[in-house]
Amino acid sequence: MAKVEVVMDERALLARAMLNLRLIKLSWALFFILIGASWILESLEKINGDQMWALIYAGSGGILLLLNLLRIILKLNISRFTTGLGFLGVLMGVVNYNSPNSISIWAAAVLIIGFSMLLGALKR
């Protein structure tokens, strides 16, 4: 029986890379809109500083999760690191909104990185 190997041509690979780049640019644009809107809301005293950071954490996490969801839908490679950061951001946003200054973002980030490395080592 002959082994059939599917090989993408250069144009298809370039098109996929360009699509991924467009998604990344879209994510950055949404991030800057989120930051600007959060600062405006705080300066208008609609939200306080703790709520602003909770909004930024949760919004950034949501953007990263949506980026990877779009990558799955479009059959592009996802990033486990940005998926982990997305979950961390949403989690930190919810926790900081409900009880401000209760969990350190750096402690949570180190914890997520450690679990990610552990899962990677156990998978092999």
CA 64/CA 91 separation, integer angstroms: 13
Residue 4 is predicted with a pLDDT of 57
Work out the mean pLDDT of the chain and round it to a whole number.
Answer: 86
Q: How confident is the model at residue 106 (pLDDT cuts 50, 70, 90)?
A: confident
Q: How confident is the model at residue 109 (pLDDT cuts 50, 70, 90)?
A: confident
Instruction: Count CA within 13 A, CB hemisphere, residue 8.
Output: 8
